[in-house]
Structure 1
Amino acid sequence: MRAGDLLVDIGPLRTSRDFRAIFIARIVSLFGLGMAMVALSKQVYDLTGSTFGVAVSSMIMSVTVLAGSLWGGWAADRMDRRKLILWARGSAALAFAGLAVNAFTPDPQLWAVYLCVAWDGLATGVSVTALMAVAPTLVRPDQLPAAGALISLTGEIGSVAAPFLGGVLLALAGPAPVFALTAATTAVTTLLLLRLRPLPPVVDEDDEDGAEDSGSPLAAFRFAVRNRVVGGLLALGGINALFNMPMVLFPEMVDKRFGGGDVMLGLLYTAPAVGAILVSATSGWITRAARPGRLLLVAAFTGGLAVIGFGLSGSAAVAFAMLAVGGAAGTVYEILEYALVQHNTPDRLRGRTVSVLTSQGTTGDIVGDVEVALVAKWFSPAGAAVVNGVVCAAAAVVVAVTVPGLRKATLPREEEEEPGDDGPPGEDTAAPAPVGAVVSPAKPAPAGGAPSAIG
């Protein structure tokens, strides 16, 4: 393998004007959102004087994102996805504008903050689901892993850089200008996404997977359970969401085992992103994998081992290394899951299938934090990490044995000729095949964390 083959594949950016628009919009959006989250936590803490108040805002966001993704999945399979995306992003800009107006007042109101957070959560849930449903129609089938890697890379960079910039701006000017800047960046993403062509959902009347599509989310769930690739990913993803990286343990682990105070705590939170960035930046080998299903399962197993290693680590250096390995393995999993789910799901069900997976991750994060906290009380923080890691590693082995369709899953190989990018602005110059319309059980696809298209 040549050294150049290790670098992230930017083919989707070269061949698809619409994917470029989404990619640039995502970068702008992530930086605005990352800064806003820092300002939001600080403002809520100042208004309430308690961590509980911050937890309430986080819970409101999680619940409304869940509701938005469920409705957005249904809507993405029923209406023009471009209009849905633009409506959602424009609504999010209004939510941040509301936060800015409230913060600029002499006496900011907590109820107004929670209301704006709820509104933004709904809009974000809708836009993320619709954007993920759209992505496969913007690139060639063989470019799905590369598209997932590019989306993952921007997310990890944003998760490291944006909070730092938000903290600096917050220290210099307070929360109001941060919210105003986020409203502006969100408005910019909406303008960038205006370049997308109309994206009506595809109705495939000849789809073998059956056409008893009532339009409800249950239709997507039934499809996912029956499809041997997507069903395997649904099972493995649910377990990973509940028992994966136990970040809620970090403060107690630092306090009782590693020491180092706030600096060490910050390093632990950064470690998974470091591993993820390294993998995303060198993801060329992932996108060219001959057996993506098998590689996904290996990544899930490795992630479990990394969590076990974190729980058993006796030094901060080993803990950092284990967390970085876990972040790297999680990114491999996410890139491949994204490609496999998109490739194996019919377009008529893609919005709702994405919403099922998104909902699974959101609820898993909420319930998983409670689970690991309870296990930590019964054993210890280190013991809870080991238990979670064992469950994740064992789940990967069980799914590998019991779901051969996922283990043998493949993706379309690279096409010999790449289409040009010289078409008129309103056309889809990448001319991709209708990925969702051709779903063959003999061609499963990889699984992972299905990276969100716009944060």
Structure 2
Amino acid sequence: MRLRDLLIDIEPLRAGRDFRAAFIARTVSLFGLGIATVALAAQVYRLTGTTVHVAAVSMVMSVSVLVGSLVGGVLADRSDRRRVIIIARSAAALGFAALAVNAMLPEPRLWAVYLCVAWDGLASGVSVTTLMAVVPTLVRRDQLPAAGALMAITGELGSIFAPFLGGVLIAAWGAGFAFAATAVTTALTSLLLTRLRPLPPARSTDGGDGGDGEGDGHDESGSPMAALRFALRERVVGGLLLLGGVTAFFGVPVVLFPELVHTRFGGGDVMLGLLYTAPAVGSVLVSVGSGWIGRTAAPGKVLLAAVLVSGLAVAGFGLSPSVGPALAALVVVGAAGTVYGILEYALVHHSTPDRLRGRMAGVLTSQQTTGDIAGDAEVALIARWFNPGAAAVFNGLLTAVTAVVVAVAVPGLRRATLPAEDDADADDTGADGTGTGADGGPGTPSVPLGTGPAPVAAPPRAPAAG
């Protein structure tokens, strides 16, 4: 295999103007959001002097993102997706501008922070979900793994550099300036997204208006339940939802980092920062060398193996006696998680009809958000009953066992494949928006779970944020 076949595939950026615009917009947006995240935590702590309000603000953001994701999924399947994203990002820019104004007041108001965070969470939930539904319509199906890798690497680079930039801005000019910078980048995102072509909702081929395709005569276009019923029928998608829920709930135990640094690793704040950075480092390394992922002949098996490796690495982190092995384990967790995220992105979108992609994206985003919230509480409770290391070991082993169970119970996922370039050219929706394969029309046969080695696949999560 040639070296260029191992490096990240940038063909989607060269081939499609619309994908290029979405990619740049998302990159700008993520850096702005990273700056705001640091500014928000710093400002709330300075206003209150307690981490209780910092956690409460984070909870408000998570819940509002959850609600926005569900609403956004319906809007993405009912309205022009380009318009939905632009309106949502513009609304978020107003929220960040309000945070900036409040922070610059002689006495900033805490209630205003909560209100703006709820507003921005709703807007972000809508835009994230809609963008997840949009990206697969901007590239050929054989380019989905490459598109997922490109989206993933921007997120990880943003998670490494944006918080540092936020800290610099806060130290130099204060939280108000940082929020203002985020408002500007968010407004710029809206401007960049105006370059997208109109993206009207897909129509069902059975005569319904975006229904779930069961032909039962009921209009399900306004209900996220249509996506859930689709996942139950397409059991490969259901298997991926199960894996996604487990990885969100029992994923990287970041809430344990401060206690482990204090009780086991030492090193203070610098060591804590390294623990937070290590998974992102693994993710970037895999994203840069992700060319092989889209060319693998057995994406289903590779995805399941990535979940297994990630779970074992989390368990290894919990067993690490010193910081060196712990950092190495977290790098592996980040790397395996990115392999899983890229393949999940490609497989889910490959097999989900376009008329359901908005609601499916809403289900996935909601699953991730609720998993993060509940997972933090679960691992903290186990750590209190036993110890932080035991909690990480428990979560990691349970994730690994789930991967094995799904591999046995969902044979269709093990045998899942992705289309080659020739197949995608024949029947897929490319960057110009033509074709029928991606929207559930002729050329995309529905293959229920476990029916054999036919080309089956499923929907995305991690790579599409913003």
TM-score under structure 1 normalisation? Answer: 0.95
Equivalent position of 1:6 in the other structure: 6
The superposition leaves residues 49-75 of structure 1 with CA deviations (integer Å, 9 ceiling, x where unpaired) of 100010011000000000000001011
Q: Distance in 1 between matches of 2:49 and 2:305?
A: 45
* Preserved contact between residue 334 and residue 447 of structure 1 (Cα < 8 Å): no
> Paired residue for 1:163?
163
1:130–1:416 CA distance, 2 compared to 1 (3 A): closer
1:238 corresponding residue in structure 2: 245
Aligned match of 1:31: 31
**Contact 1:293 1:446 survives alignment (8 Å):** no
Superposed, 1:107-256 pairs within 5 Å as 107-206=107-206, 209-212=213-216, 213-215=219-221, 216-256=223-263
Q: CA separation in 1, counterparts of 2:305 and 2:435?
A: 30
Inter-partner Cα distance in structure 2 for 1:449 and 1:138 = 17
* Contact kept? 2:140, 2:424, Cα under 8 Å: no
Distance across 2 between alignment mates of 1:447 and 1:253: 35
2:81 paired with 1:81: yes
Distance between the aligned counterparts of 1:61 and 1:131, measured in 2? Answer: 19
Relative to structure 1, the CA distance from residue 392 to residue 101 in structure 2 (aligned partners, 3 Å threshold; closer, same or farther) is: same
> Does the aligned pair in 2 maintain the 1:139–1:432 contact within 8 Å?
no
| Counterpart position of 1:440 | 446
Q: Which amino acid in structure 2 is aligned with residue 86 of structure 1?
A: I
Structure 2: state its 5+ residue gaps.
448-453
State the partner residue of 1:385.
Answer: 392
The alignment-based identity, stated in percent, is: 65
Amino acid at match of 2:446: S
* In structure 2, C-alpha distance between the alignment counterparts of 1:433 and 1:12, rounded to whole Å: 19
- 1:112-141 Cα distance to aligned partner (Å, 9 max, x none): 111110000000000011111111110001
Aligned residues: 447
Deviations 1:17-49 (A, max 9, x none): 100000000111111111111111100111111
Aligned equivalents of 1:453 and 1:163: distance in 2?
Answer: 17
What is the rounded CA distance, in whole Å, between the counterparts of 1:346 and 1:358 in structure 2? 18
Q: Partner residue of 2:18?
A: 18
> 1:12, 1:19 within 8 Å by CA — same for their partners in 2?
yes
Q: Which amino acid aligns with 2:272?
A: L
How far did 1:210 drift? Answer: 1.9
**1:318 lines up with 2:325 in the alignment:** yes
Inter-CA distance 428–325: structure 2 relative to 1 (3 Å threshold): closer
The equivalent position to 2:343 in structure 1, one of 330, 336, 344, is 336
Letter in 2 for 1:111: W
> 8 Å contact 2:308–2:401 — kept in the other structure?
yes
TM superposition shift of 1:239: 1.4
2:258 aligned with 1:258, yes or no? no
Give the structure 1 partner of residue 463 of structure 2: 451
| Cα offset, 1:434, TM superposition | 4.2
**1:45 alignment partner AA:** Y
Change over 3 Å in CA distance of 1:109–1:417 after alignment to 2: closer
Normalising by the residue count of structure 2, what TM-score does the alignment of the two structures yield? Answer: 0.93
5 Å-filtered alignment, 1:360-375, equals 360-375=367-382
Helix, strand or coil at the partner of 2:396: helix
SS in 1 for 2:232: helix
**Would you say the 8 A contact 1:293–1:409 is kept in 2?**
yes
Q: Report the AA paired with residue 214 of structure 2.
A: G
- Aligned equivalents of 2:353, 2:67: Cα separation in 1: 23
Distance 2:278 2:102 in 1: 35
Amino acid of the structure 1 residue aligned with 2:188: V
Instruction: Tell me the distance in 1 between the aligned counterparts of 2:458 and 2:270.
Output: 37
- State the AA in 1 paired with 2:10: I
Alignment-derived partner of residue 283 in structure 2 = 276
Summarize the Cα distance change of 1:432–1:330 in structure 2 as closer, same or farther, 3 Å threshold: farther
5+ residue gaps in structure 1? 420-426
**Secondary structure of the corresponding residue to residue 181 of structure 2:** helix
